[in-house]
Amino acid sequence: MNFQTSRKALVIILHEIYGLNEHILAFGDKVSQAGYKVLTPNLLKREPFPYEQEEEAYSYFVSQIGFDRAADEVRQIVRDHRDQYDCIMIVGFSIGATIAWLCSVSEIEGIVGFYGSRIRNYAETEPKCPALLFFARNEKSFNVSELVVKLEHRQNTHVHVIEGEHGFMNPYSKSYLPQAYQACLERSFDFLQWIATGEM
């Protein structure tokens, strides 16, 4: 999946509530192998939570970090690297996808978000860059179809719904779907390449 471009491209990968764990690092390796520079910031500033501690991880993120503060940190990372790269893109999972969505109004070239369920709280956001969003059909906390109807009318926004559950892109999750993973990975990499080569 390696691509050729004269533009220097950076991909910032944003983790889930669990933090910077093996899933995010492995995904970062795949993106790096595809020819991009990669950054995987640890927004929690601590060791990752195990998957069994979902409630603790969510509580920690909400009380200690929060979406606005995390988005501000990512925007600062973008500013710090702006001079070094022609193209900066963000890929996020779960809360990371919501943070990427919040950053889509900033000076970046594109975002990819996987099951960013809290995007529903920011559905009126109008991305200034291309945004590719994947949602799981089966979400416990909200109606995916209703959110998709709202998002499809946002500018620059491309939405896909996967027949599965939250976590379908995580090989370490019980919700992992190998075929969906591969299909979404290929579509995401095509999208990133489309942006990075400037063929938009």
pLDDT tens-digit series, residues 5-17 = 556 999 999 999 9
Of the chain, the percentage scoring pLDDT greater than 70 comes to 96
Give the predicted TM-score (pTM) of the model.
Answer: 0.95
What is the C-alpha separation between 93 and 135, in angstroms, rounded?
Answer: 10
Closest CA to 66 of 12, 121, 11: 121
Residues 34-63: what's their mean pLDDT?
97
* Average pLDDT for 173-183: 97
Supply the pLDDT for residue 198. Answer: 80
Average pLDDT score, the chain: 95
CA-based nearest residue to 189, from 151, 127, 132: 132
